[in-house]
Amino acid sequence: MAKISTIRNLGPVIETSLNKAGIMTAEELHEIGADAAYRRLLERGTRPHFIGFYVLHMALQGRPWNDCKGDEKKALRVKFDSLSAQSFDATRSELEAFLDRIGVIEL
């Protein structure tokens, strides 16, 4: 099982964040895909950031992070906006998100 940081363009910071979201290996990340992985990050309180979203997509395709352009980038932006609207609550703290996930409080 390979570390997430072995994937081109993904370093130790995103690896730590994904590990906290329950994605522990590069194989797991490839299996669930960029959208589901990013959704998990958002649900755990990570603030949405479009560049991080498309870097994750490019990394899983083995492409340079800045290879995303034109219509492809526009389509990813639509996906990102939808995921962000569905999975991120700016009024909720990371602690509240965690307590909700483990069933202590319901938000």
23 CB neighbour count, 10 Å cutoff: 20
Region of residue 74 (phi > 0: left; psi between -120 and 50: alpha; otherwise: beta): alpha
Gap between the Cα atoms of 5 and 11, Å rounded: 5
**4 and 10 in contact (C-beta within 8 Å)?**
yes
Gap between the Cα atoms of 79 and 39, Å rounded: 11
**39 and 18 in contact (C-beta within 8 Å)?**
no
pLDDT score, position 85 = 81
Q: Enumerate domains of the chain plus CATH numbers.
A: 4-101 (1.10.150.20)
The tens place of each residue's pLDDT in the chain, 107 residues long, gives 999 999 999 999 999 999 999 999 999 999 999 999 999 998 887 888 999 999 999 999 999 999 999 999 999 999 999 988 887 666 666 677 667 667 676 55
DSSP state for residue 7 in the 8-state scheme: S
Looking at the chain, the number of H-run helices and the number of E-run strands are: 5, 0
pLDDT score, position 45 = 77
- Does the global pTM surpass 0.75? yes
